[in-house]
Structure 1
Amino acid sequence: MVGRKLLRHLSSSFADEDGLHGSYSKAFTGTVAQSPNWSPKVGRHFAARNRKNKNKKVKTTVSSKSSSNDSDPGEYKPLVSFIVVYTMIFFNGCCFTAVVPSVPFYLEILSAPPSFLGWVVSFYSVGQLIGSPTGGWLADKMSAKCLLTISSTLGFVSSVIYSLAPAYMLILVARWLTGISAGMEFATELAFIAKNTTKKQRTIYLASVTAVNVVGFILGPALAGALSTLNVTIMGITVDKYTGPGWLLAIMFVVDICMVQGLFKDMELPKNKKSLRSSSTSSSSTEEQNGLLEKQQQGKGVSYGGVSHEDDEDDDDGVDAETKEMMALQPLRESQRPPALPLVLGLIFVQFTVMCAWSVLETITSPLAADSFGWDVQDCNLLFTGGGAVSLVAYVIFVVSSKWVQDRWLIVYALIVCVIGQMLAINWHQLEWVPQPFLDILPSTFRNRFVAGYMIMNAGFMTGRPVTFALYSKLIGSEYQGKYLGWMVAGGSAARTLGPFAAVALYYQIKAAGVNLLALFGSVAIFHVACLFLVLGLWKSLLPSASMMQSIRASMRMSDVDLDEEKANGHDEEHHTNGH
C-alpha cells in the first residue's frame, strides 16, 4: 500500500549514520499522530525507531571521541591551506577592479574605437561564465592543488599578454582568459572550503569569502593607483599607468603559484570523507529506497532564515508553533510543488536589473570622468577605491540588519537607493527643459553630484545583489535549489555581459550634451522603479515562512490522502479475511 510503503521508507531513511534526521522523525511522529487518520501501530513503529536511532547516535559519538583521541592531533591541519585559499580569493577580487579604471585609457593609446570598451569589459564576464562551471566540474575529478595551479598559470599568461599587447585585440583575448582563470579558481576554492568545513562552520566560512572578495575590490584600484605613478622600462618591458595593473596581476598570480606549490595541501575533513563513504554504502540498497534516500539527502542542505536546521536538531526552545510545524513536516518536502513561476521570474528580473546597472556603472565611469572632469588614471583609481570602501560598509550594514529586517524590505531599500544615485549621476544642467527650481536644489557642480551618486549606487548594489540571491534561495524548496539557482546565476551573468554593450552604445552614440547620460542612467532608473513595483506586487509571496507553509501544508494534505488510502485498504483486507 502506498501510504504504508512511504512511511516505512521515510522512517528507515531517518536512521542515517550521523542521526541527522532524528529530531525531524520525532517531530513528524508527534505532529502527524494528531491526525484522525493516524494509525497507532505506525506510531509505535516510529517511537521504536527513534529510540534505536538515539542509542545508535550515542554509540557513534563515543566511538568518534575515542578515535579522535587515538588519532594524531597533527594529522589534520588545514589552517595554512585556508590562509592560501583566502589570499587567492583576495587576489581574485583585485583582478577585476585593478584593471577596469585604466582600460579605457589603455585602449585609447592602442587606437581602439570607443565601442570596443564594451567588448573588453563584457568578455571578462564571459570568461567567468565558462570558467566557473568548468572548475566546478573538474573539482570532482582533479585535485584542488592541480586546479589552482592551472588557473593561476592561465591567469599569469593572460596578465603578461595584457601588459605586452601591441594591438587592442590582444587586450580582448587577455581579459577573456583572465575571466576563465578567475572562474575556475573561485569554483575550486569554494569546493575546497565546502570539503574542509562542517555544516555548522560552512555558513561562516562562505560568508567570509564575500568579505575578503570585497576587500580585494577595494584595494585593487588602490594598488593599481600606486603603480600608476611609475614610468620605468626594464629590459624592454615598460611599467606605467597603462601596463602597471597587468603586471600587478602577473605578480599576484606568481605568488599564487608559489603558495599553492609550497604551502597548500589538498585535504578533506575526515567527517566529510566518512559521510561520503556512508552515502556510497547506502547506495547499494534497493532501487526504490535509493530514490527516496537521494531525495532526502537533497534536503539536508536547506536553510531557513539563514540558519541551518541540521545544526539545531536538539534546540527546540523558543520555537513557535508554525516553525515546529515546518520542521515536523520536513521529511515530506520531496512532495513539494515547484515555486510559482511569477515569483521566480520576478526575483531573477530584480537580480538582472541590479547586476546590469552595476556593470553599466563600472564600464562608463572612467570615460565619463575623463570627458566631463578631465580626470586621468590615478583619479579614476581613487574614485573606484572610494566606491569599494562604501560597498564594504554597506555589506556590513546588510549583514547586521538582516538579523532584524525582513529581506523584502532590504530589497526595497536597495532599489530606492540605486534610483537616487542614478538621478544624481545625470547632468541635469545640460538639459534645457529642466525647470530652474529643480536645478536650484541640486548640488552646484556636476562633479560633486556624480561622485555622490557613484557612492550611493555602490551602496545600493552591494545590498541588492546578496539580499535578492538570499531571498530567492529561501523561497525555493530543497529539491529545486540546483535548478532554480542556476537560472539566477545565468541571469546575473547575462546582465554582466549585456550591460557594458548598452553603456557604450548609449554613451557614445547619443551626441547631444546631457542627453546621453539621461538615456543611460535614466533607463536604468526606470528598470529599478519597475522592479520596485514588481516587488510590491509580489509582497505577500516574498515572506519565506508564508511561501514555505503553503507548500508544506499541500504536502500534509497529500500525506493525509495516503493515510486514508492505507486505512481503507486495511478495512478491505480485514473484511476479506473475515469473509473466509
Structure 2
Amino acid sequence: MADLRIEGEREPLLGDTPGSREWDILETDEHYKSRWRSIRILYLTMFLSSVGFSIVILSIWPYLQKIDQTADTRFLGWVIASYSLGQMVASPIFGLWSNYRPRKEPLVVSIFISVAANCLYAYVHIPASHNKYYMLVARGLLGIGAGNVAVVRSYTAGATSLQERTSSMANISMCQALGFILGPVFQTCFAFIGEKGVTWDVIKLRINMYTTPVLLSAFLGILNIILILAILREHRVDDSGRQCKNINFEEASTDEIEVPQGNIDQVAVVAINVLFFVALFIFAVFETIIAPLTMDMYAWTQEQAVLYNGIILAALGVEAVVIFVGVKLLSKKIGERAILLGGLIVVWVGFFILLPWGNQFPKIQWEDLHNNSIPNTTFGEIIIGLWKSPMEDDNERPTGCSIEQAWCLYTPVIHLAQFLTSVVLIGVGYPVCNLMSYTLYSKVLGPKPQGVYMGWLTASGSGARILGPMFISQVYAHWGPRWAFSLMCGIVVLTITLLGVVYRRLIALSVRYGRIQE
C-alpha cells in the first residue's frame, strides 16, 4: 500500500546501502503510521484554528455596533489587534511548555482557551454595560489559544526528517490557507439565520448570525481536543529519520538514539525571524490597504469594495494553495533558499507595479469636503472597509478619493490592470516567503526541541500583523500610495539584501556539521 501514501510521507525509513550495518529498518511500519496520524491531527488543528479566526471576521464590526453603541472605529482597531497581541504573548509560552512536557498538554489547554473565548463571544450581549470590553477580552483569549501554532510547527519539525520537512510544512500552510478561505464562507452560510435568531432562555443563549459561527467553532474545538487525546502520540526523529530520545516521549525505547550535538547558528535564527516578520508584514499591509485603495482609485462604493475585494482575497487563498503544492515539487529541484529569494523578488515587482504613474487622476470626492486638514485615519477606520454596517446606505454616500487627503489632487490613478497584476504577483510571492521562512527555520534549528524558537517566530509574525496595518494606515492617509508603496519596495529590497548576506548560513544543522550531505 506504500504507493497510495501521499507525497512527502515516505515509506518506513531504511539505512544507506544493502549489506552495511546501517541497512536496517530505522522506523517500523507501526511507528510510521502512528507518526503520520499524529501529524495529520495537527494539520486539522491548524485548519480549525484558522477557521476560528476568520469565521467571524466579516461580522465583528456590525456585531460590535449592535452590542455596544459606544464602540467606534478606534476601538474596533483594538479588537482586531487583540488577537495578534494574544498570540504574540502566548506563542513563546506554549513553545517553552512543549519543550519539556508532552505536546498534548499545551495543545489541549490552548484549544480549551479558544473554546472558552468563543463561548464568551457568544454571550457578550448579556452584560448591561461595557459589552465592547467583553468582546475585546474574547478576541484576545482567542489569540492566546492560537499561540498553539508554535507547538504545531515545533512538533511537525521534530517529527519529520529533512526529506519530509518541506512537504509537511507546506501541508500545514495549505490547511491554514483553507481555514482562512472557508471561515468567511461558513459565516455567510449562517447569514440566513438573521440578527434576531432564536433565544435559548434556560441558558440565556442567543443563536443568531453573529453567535452561530463561534458556537460551531467551539464545538469543533471540543472535537479537536478529543482527537488529540485519542490519537496524538509523541514522536521525534533526527534529520535522517531515526527516532530520538525526548523528554516528551511517553515510553523509552532502546532503539532511540541521542540527539546529535551542535550549536545553532544564532545569526541565521535572527535573520529568519526578520524574514518571517517581513513576509507577514507584507500581507498585513496588502490586505489592510486593499479596501481604501480601491475605493479611492476606482470610486467603488463600500458595498462594491466588500464584494470585489472579498472575491479577490478568496482568489488569493486559492492561489496560495496552488502555490504551496507547486513549492513542494520545486523545492526538491532548486532548494528552499532560492525559492525564498525568488518569492521576495516577485513581491518587490508586485509593489513596484503599484506605483502611480501617468497623467490620469482619480475621481475626487468633493462632497466630503469639511476642512483642509488631513484626517487622522486610525487602524480601525482602515479595517472598516471590510465590513458594511446595515445602517449605512451606500447609494447616498459620495465615492472617489476624498479631498481631505491632499495627495488625491496630484497623485495619478493606479490603473485597474496595474492593481490586478500586483494582486497576482503578491499572491504568488507572499505564500512562498511565508512557507520557505519557517521551513528553513526548522532546518537551521536541527533536531533539538524547537518549541521556544517556534514561539518567537510566531510572535514575530503576530507583531507584523499588528504593526503592518498601523504603518500603512498612517502613511497612506498622509502621503498616499506613491510613498506607501515606495517604502514597501524599499523594505523588500533591504530584506533581499539581508537574505543575500546570510544566504550561505541558511542550511540545516546536520548539513552544517557534515552529518548529512545537502
Matched residues in 1 for 2:460 and 2:216: separation? 31
Q: Which of 355, 359, 369 pairs up with 2:284? A: 359
Contact 1:410 1:463 (8 Å CA) reproduced: yes
Contact 1:350 1:468 (8 Å CA) reproduced: yes
Q: Which of 336, 341, 346 pairs up with 1:413? A: 346
- Where do residues 201-220 of structure 1 align in structure 2 (5 Å cutoff)? 201-220=164-183
Give, in angstroms, the shift of residue 464 of structure 1.
Answer: 3.4
Contact 2:349 2:425 (8 Å CA) reproduced: no
1:529 and 2:489 matched:
yes
1:242 and 2:210 matched:
yes
Residues 476 and 182 of structure 1: is their aligned pair in 2 closer, same or farther, counting only changes over 3 Å?
closer
Residues 368 and 274 of structure 1: is their aligned pair in 2 closer, same or farther, counting only changes over 3 Å?
closer
Contact 1:350 1:531 (8 Å CA) reproduced: no
Q: Which runs of 5+ in 2 are unaligned?
A: 1-12, 126-130, 250-257, 364-400, 402-406, 514-518
Alignment partner, residue 317 of structure 2: 388
Moved more, 141-150 or 85-94: 141-150
Q: Which of 446, 461, 467 pairs up with 1:498? A: 467
Residues 275 and 399 of structure 1: is their aligned pair in 2 closer, same or farther, counting only changes over 3 Å?
closer
Alignment partner, residue 229 of structure 1: 192
Matched residues in 1 for 2:112 and 2:224: separation? 9
For the residue of structure 1 that corresponds to 2:193, the secondary structure is coil
Contact 2:166 2:328 (8 Å CA) reproduced: no
Matched residues in 2 for 1:256 and 1:359: separation? 28
Contact 1:225 1:378 (8 Å CA) reproduced: no
For the residue of structure 1 that corresponds to 2:198, the secondary structure is strand
For the residue of structure 2 that corresponds to 1:182, the secondary structure is helix
Give, in angstroms, the shift of residue 216 of structure 1.
Answer: 1.6
Matched residues in 2 for 1:477 and 1:265: separation? 22
Residues 370 and 260 of structure 1: is their aligned pair in 2 closer, same or farther, counting only changes over 3 Å?
farther
Alignment partner, residue 252 of structure 1: 220
Residues 140 and 125 of structure 1: is their aligned pair in 2 closer, same or farther, counting only changes over 3 Å?
same
Residues 144 and 368 of structure 1: is their aligned pair in 2 closer, same or farther, counting only changes over 3 Å?
same
Give, in angstroms, the shift of residue 422 of structure 1.
Answer: 7.5
Matched residues in 2 for 1:384 and 1:344: separation? 31
Residues 86 and 491 of structure 1: is their aligned pair in 2 closer, same or farther, counting only changes over 3 Å?
closer
For the residue of structure 2 that corresponds to 1:162, the secondary structure is helix
One-letter amino acid of the structure 2 residue matched with residue 227 of structure 1: F
List per-residue Cα deviations over 1:358-395 (Å, max 9, x = no partner).
22444565788899523299847555423312332344
One-letter amino acid of the structure 2 residue matched with residue 160 of structure 1: C
Alignment partner, residue 373 of structure 1: 301
- Where do residues 107-126 of structure 1 align in structure 2 (5 Å cutoff)? 107-109=64-66, 110-111=68-69, 112-126=71-85
Matched residues in 2 for 1:121 and 1:386: separation? 23
Matched residues in 1 for 2:81 and 2:456: separation? 19
- Where do residues 59-78 of structure 1 align in structure 2 (5 Å cutoff)? 59=21, 61=23, 77-78=34-35
- Where do residues 120-269 of structure 1 align in structure 2 (5 Å cutoff)? 120-166=79-125, 167-184=131-148, 186-194=149-157, 196-231=159-194, 232-236=197-201, 237-261=205-229, 263-268=230-235
Contact 1:419 1:529 (8 Å CA) reproduced: yes
Matched residues in 1 for 2:441 and 2:156: separation? 23
Matched residues in 1 for 2:237 and 2:327: separation? 34
Contact 1:90 1:215 (8 Å CA) reproduced: yes
TM score, norm. by length of structure 1:
0.58
Moved more, 133-142 or 269-278: 269-278
* Percent identical: 22
Matched residues in 1 for 2:496 and 2:237: separation? 47
- Where do residues 79-98 of structure 1 align in structure 2 (5 Å cutoff)? 79-98=36-55
For the residue of structure 1 that corresponds to 2:72, the secondary structure is coil
Matched residues in 2 for 1:191 and 1:485: separation? 6
For the residue of structure 2 that corresponds to 1:238, the secondary structure is strand
Give, in angstroms, the shift of residue 484 of structure 1.
Answer: 8.9
One-letter amino acid of the structure 1 residue matched with residue 167 of structure 2: I
Matched residues in 2 for 1:174 and 1:422: separation? 39
Give, in angstroms, the shift of residue 450 of structure 1.
Answer: 6.5
TM score, norm. by length of structure 2:
0.64
List per-residue Cα deviations over 1:286-326 (Å, max 9, x = no partner).
xxxxxxx99x6236xx9xxxxxxxxxxxxxxxxxxxxxxxx
For the residue of structure 2 that corresponds to 1:101, the secondary structure is coil
For the residue of structure 2 that corresponds to 1:375, the secondary structure is helix
- Where do residues 382-531 of structure 1 align in structure 2 (5 Å cutoff)? 382-402=311-331, 403-404=333-334, 407-420=340-353, 428-429=362-363, 430=401, 433-434=409-410, 439=413, 442-443=415-416, 457-467=426-436, 491-502=460-471, 506=474, 516=477, 519=479, 521-531=481-491
Matched residues in 1 for 2:496 and 2:234: separation? 47
One-letter amino acid of the structure 2 residue matched with residue 164 of structure 1: Y
Residues 489 and 164 of structure 1: is their aligned pair in 2 closer, same or farther, counting only changes over 3 Å?
closer
1:104 and 2:61 matched:
yes
Contact 1:224 1:248 (8 Å CA) reproduced: no
One-letter amino acid of the structure 2 residue matched with residue 211 of structure 1: M
Moved more, 481-490 or 213-222: 481-490
For the residue of structure 1 that corresponds to 2:65, the secondary structure is helix
Residues 477 and 191 of structure 1: is their aligned pair in 2 closer, same or farther, counting only changes over 3 Å?
closer
Give, in angstroms, the shift of residue 127 of structure 1.
Answer: 1.4
Give, in angstroms, the shift of residue 116 of structure 1.
Answer: 1.6
Higher-helix-fraction structure: 1
Contact 1:102 1:366 (8 Å CA) reproduced: no
Flag the structure with larger Rg: 1
List per-residue Cα deviations over 1:478-518 (Å, max 9, x = no partner).
99x999988765543322222344456x39xxxxxxx73x7
Contact 1:369 1:375 (8 Å CA) reproduced: no
Cα RMSD (Å) of the superposition? Answer: 4.9
List per-residue Cα deviations over 1:26-50 (Å, max 9, x = no partner).
xxxxxxxxxxxxxxxxxxxxxxxxx
For the residue of structure 1 that corresponds to 2:231, the secondary structure is coil
Aligned residues: 423
Give, in angstroms, the shift of residue 137 of structure 1.
Answer: 1.9
Give, in angstroms, the shift of residue 542 of structure 1.
Answer: 5.7
One-letter amino acid of the structure 2 residue matched with residue 171 of structure 1: M
Contact 1:99 1:245 (8 Å CA) reproduced: yes
Contact 1:414 1:463 (8 Å CA) reproduced: no
Residues 226 and 384 of structure 1: is their aligned pair in 2 closer, same or farther, counting only changes over 3 Å?
farther
For the residue of structure 1 that corresponds to 2:213, the secondary structure is helix
Matched residues in 2 for 1:86 and 1:156: separation? 18
Give, in angstroms, the shift of residue 119 of structure 1.
Answer: 1.4
Give, in angstroms, the shift of residue 203 of structure 1.
Answer: 4.0
